[in-house]
Amino acid sequence: MLSDYDLSWAAFTVLWVLWIWGTQETGHVASEAGITKGTLPGVIKTLHSRRLIRRIPHRDDKRRVSIKLTKAGERQIETLFPQFNRHETLAVGALTPTEQRELARLLRLVLGQISAVDEPVSLPSNILGTDTA
């Protein structure tokens, strides 16, 4: 569903966080979206280039930046979220409430692990098929 809008999961989640919480500093957005601070600049660049968010420099500390939804960003998430919610409801509709809670718990564990990893995993050359020995 998100591919119809050319949005990644991270981009959608950032839009959702800003929609729910309003203007936020980037570190808080990354934390709430469940992505690393290293992933966020690329997401911000994409959303900013599409005029869905606006950067707001901190008045006292130039290293700090907040982001907020533009009117176009608000319209986008207001269109996307009900569709996403329908898809999500269909996807988990066969699960009991207990199974849904367990799935949510497991997904939080997976997302937490992904967020904890700041660097890509390097595979040994023999696994990549580049081992010349």
Query: Domain ranges in the chain?
Result: 2-116
Confidence bin at 114 (pLDDT 50/70/90):
low
Topology given in CATH for the domain delimited by 2-116: Arc Repressor Mutant, subunit A (1.10.10)
**How far is the C-alpha of 49 from the C-alpha of 58, rounded, in Å?**
20
Pick the more confident residue, 121 or 73.
Answer: 73
What is the arithmetic mean of pLDDT over 107-121? 65
Sequence letter at residue 74: E
Q: How far is CA 44 from CA 11, 104, 128, in A?
A: 8, 26, 32
Q: Are 40 and 14 in contact (CB under 8 A)?
A: yes
**What's the token pair of residue 120?**
């890509």
